[in-house]
Structure 1
């Protein structure tokens, strides 16, 4: 019962943290775009992409640290956990020292690397400097993130993220109000919010895992080699991911133009935020699964994985259906200065894989859990190389800027859909030794529910001639109501329905007291 309570608390905290993030984005993005323009806003996403290039050097070490430290703690091998913890911390300092030299060189020659309008040169350079600084300090203290994971207290990290996002929003609003608008303010606010996150992570280490001590005497090259050996395939996966998502804005900047890059940066927000939501929800499964795996409790692990797929199928098809039906209304109201139909078309292309791929998100926890990363990394390399080649070739053989943007927005989504259909369920099932049918079933049921749901939503949409925020809000409510009924009937099994009935009865009893 205690584990179920923790699971529920972590889930609610992650969702609430996401809602705060999306609320901040909802209010600040149109303000920033209206004050600075879509082209200037695009450089924020491009700077983040440059950071993702630098992250490649840190992935092998950091990506698997949480798994090894957590398993060591749950197996009561504190000495080994300290070795991993300290070795990662000191190694990250060394990595940052080397990467910062490259970062300074890039910053110095930035105008020769990307297309920057002359009137935005200083602004963009300072923005990149702030984003690079934010990356450096984040990497140094990255290992502290594991403490809430070990104790399954993701609610604490979510609360911390909520406060950090609120701090960032307050800073941005205040700075934009009192000073002339500049895009580098976004980078400055990001640095300050990250410093707050680091301080709280250090506090969580002392509170939750006081036995995890950093000291030079615990630095162990064997621990580093073990982490690098396990995480090397994550480098391949991340490099592959850059071919799909990391170079899209850079390609747009160099081959199409800064304005088109800005438009693509805007439409990336919805699929990115959607994926962020479900990645946060997905993260709550990892701590209990890691504990079950460390204890060799595979029966419970299999049950939890199958249940997670049903949960994801149930909660993912509703927002996905809303995106495909009402996204143009949202853009028309949210960004009236932009072409809502164009944004809708590009967003739909970028969300192509969501109806079938989102229910399978929990499978991504299986690969690091079982330390079987190679096949996933190699498959990513193949499909993301195909994505990159298709985009570059397509842009060079076509002339329309609309076609170019559709290629950038939709090609990766198409190949991600192919991965969901032919790889994830099969290899995920192999890693944990269950039948792939169990994993495919969740995806199939969610896809059917999505197809059923969009029919009444399109009928409802066609009956409305005038749109407004209240109308859009009513549409959201209708989408949720229809979706709950359809998902309840199609996706959930008997035990899931009984669980919902028990929850409803508990809530009803409290209201009747």
Structure 2
């Protein structure tokens, strides 16, 4: 299968997986909120956020192991690839054991760490337990995801993810439909989903790269040291993300109120999904980028980076524009009975940071690709520290507007960083002129602004009031098609247009 057909297959499967995840999230969230209340649902987001703090202990190794294994594999050095694989899995087993000893007493005394209403204490503790088990499974399964990456068959991971999502839905429906409503059911469903993908990735590893093996005496301290030397800077980046975004729900719970934390958690669902989409789309280009870098094919690498920026921006731009136009109508229909205006404002403020993230996400992978993470991570850490300081200051100076400060400040800081620091540092890493990626930025900004203006005019003329799911669907379809058309004109290059056009022609012929 040639590279373009492989990419289309990976893209198609990833979009189906994303749509399934998005659709299930939208359908299940209002159902769950109605069952348990906004406050209880807020602890789902808080649990995931706090568990993310634990990834600081695993990220240094797991964030770079795939890169080291893949580069060694494509260089034909199978023994080195086995060494990295074995060392990563062995280390993760040790880390999991240590973190478990820390997590058990912490969860047992959780009501002394965060604000929990008395009637929710046991329910929330069980939720956190399942979310932590999910984290352990995710940590152990990370090294097995490298198989589909090495062979550039990411569609297989998407298929496994779709099956896992359906299993989670069935579990949630069965639990909420037959038992008294509890928030911990969400944790159980999440664990089941991760377990299924774990098993699938283990099978993929056996089938796709049988020569990649866990060697009983293959643990290498030097391999761990080499990976940690590169990956430690990803921990710094993760710390920045925690300071900039990851503490928002915790700060809201401790300094404002659990109720507002619940509203912010609902508002963050769409932006979080957008973040996942960006990671998924940009990740589709990573196998080829890694291969081209390993082989020293700089021109092909640059071509893949620019295509990744445009195509990732293409899809993120659609969601950004459509939700900007119909956001309040969507929240009113999706979350009846909730504070529609506040949730929409919080969602729009949170989405500010995604105005440029569509094109910037691909470039954020460059420092890892070329193993030049130190200056990049320290730069982002400075952004995170500034963001966190401004949030705390804003909450204390403007207590009545504190929730809006929590939502807006990190996104403004992220916007500035993605506009300046990210493209400039990526250009430096690749020894390119500093302005190399700004033409694509300009295309993306132009496409976004034109799309917003035209869709706003259409909204005012055709559908000023949306009162049902049917009218919402019609409006989304109109604005999506409009944005796609504008993106094709202003954002995509002839290479991406040709790729899409040939695929459409093939489908029509079939």
Shorter-chain-normalised TM-score: which range?
over 0.9
Distance change in 2, residues 1:508/1:390 (3 Å): same
**Alignment partner, residue 409 of structure 1:** 407
**Alignment partner, residue 192 of structure 2:** 192
Question: How much does 1:357 deviate?
Answer: 2.5
Distance change in 2, residues 1:462/1:88 (3 Å): same
Distance change in 2, residues 1:347/1:207 (3 Å): same
Q: Which moved more, 1:159-168 or 1:140-149?
A: 140-149
Question: Gaps (5+ residues) in structure 2?
Answer: none
Q: Deviations over 1:227-283 (max 9, x none)?
A: 111101011111111001221111111111110010010001011001111211111
**Alignment partner, residue 255 of structure 1:** 255
**Alignment partner, residue 126 of structure 2:** 126
Query: In the alignment, which of 425, 434, 437 is matched to residue 436 of structure 1?
Result: 434
**Alignment partner, residue 236 of structure 2:** 236
Distance 2:200 2:485 in 1: 41
Aligned residues: 508
Helix, strand or coil at the partner of 2:213: coil
Distance 1:506 1:78 in 2: 38
Distance 1:104 1:301 in 2: 46
Query: In the alignment, which of 440, 448, 451 is matched to residue 449 of structure 2?
Result: 451
Distance 2:163 2:496 in 1: 33
Question: How much does 1:113 deviate?
Answer: 0.5
Give the alignment of 1:298-309 within 5 angstroms.
Answer: 298-309=298-309
Give the conservation status (yes or no) of the 8 Å contact 1:302–1:434: no
Distance 1:368 1:60 in 2: 12
**Alignment partner, residue 277 of structure 1:** 277
Distance change in 2, residues 1:501/1:13 (3 Å): closer
Give the conservation status (yes or no) of the 8 Å contact 2:309–2:362: yes
Helix, strand or coil at the partner of 2:432: coil
Helix, strand or coil at the partner of 2:145: helix
- Structure 1 segments, 4+ long, off by >6 Å, are none
Q: Deviations over 1:345-403 (max 9, x none)?
A: 11111111222221221112211110111122111111111110111111112221xx1
Distance change in 2, residues 1:141/1:316 (3 Å): closer
Distance 1:176 1:504 in 2: 42
**Alignment partner, residue 65 of structure 1:** 65
Give the conservation status (yes or no) of the 8 Å contact 2:71–2:291: yes
Give the conservation status (yes or no) of the 8 Å contact 1:313–1:443: no
Give the alignment of 1:68-467 within 5 angstroms.
Answer: 68-400=68-400, 403-463=401-461, 464-467=464-467
Helix, strand or coil at the partner of 1:438: coil
Question: How much does 1:461 deviate?
Answer: 2.4
Give the conservation status (yes or no) of the 8 Å contact 2:281–2:311: no
Helix, strand or coil at the partner of 2:29: helix
Helix, strand or coil at the partner of 2:399: coil
TM-score (norm 1): 0.96
Distance change in 2, residues 1:476/1:211 (3 Å): same
Distance 2:403 2:54 in 1: 25
Give the conservation status (yes or no) of the 8 Å contact 2:318–2:483: yes
Q: Deviations over 1:9-50 (max 9, x none)?
A: 111111110100011101110011001000000001111111
Distance change in 2, residues 1:425/1:37 (3 Å): same
Distance change in 2, residues 1:508/1:266 (3 Å): same
Question: Gaps (5+ residues) in structure 1?
Answer: none
Give the conservation status (yes or no) of the 8 Å contact 2:175–2:185: yes
Q: Deviations over 1:405-455 (max 9, x none)?
A: 111111110000000111111111111222333311111111111111112
Question: How much does 1:501 deviate?
Answer: 4.0
Distance 1:165 1:108 in 2: 29
Q: Which moved more, 1:79-88 or 1:136-145?
A: 136-145
Q: Which moved more, 1:325-334 or 1:351-360?
A: 351-360
Distance change in 2, residues 1:291/1:179 (3 Å): same
Give the conservation status (yes or no) of the 8 Å contact 2:357–2:418: yes
Helix, strand or coil at the partner of 2:217: helix
Distance 1:185 1:143 in 2: 28
Distance change in 2, residues 1:466/1:281 (3 Å): closer
Question: How much does 1:459 deviate?
Answer: 2.1
Distance 2:163 2:337 in 1: 31
Helix, strand or coil at the partner of 1:437: coil
Distance 2:54 2:82 in 1: 27
Give the conservation status (yes or no) of the 8 Å contact 1:39–1:259: yes
Question: How much does 1:312 deviate?
Answer: 2.7
Distance 1:170 1:509 in 2: 37
Distance 1:148 1:437 in 2: 34
Question: How much does 1:498 deviate?
Answer: 4.1
Give the conservation status (yes or no) of the 8 Å contact 2:282–2:309: no
Distance 2:151 2:455 in 1: 42
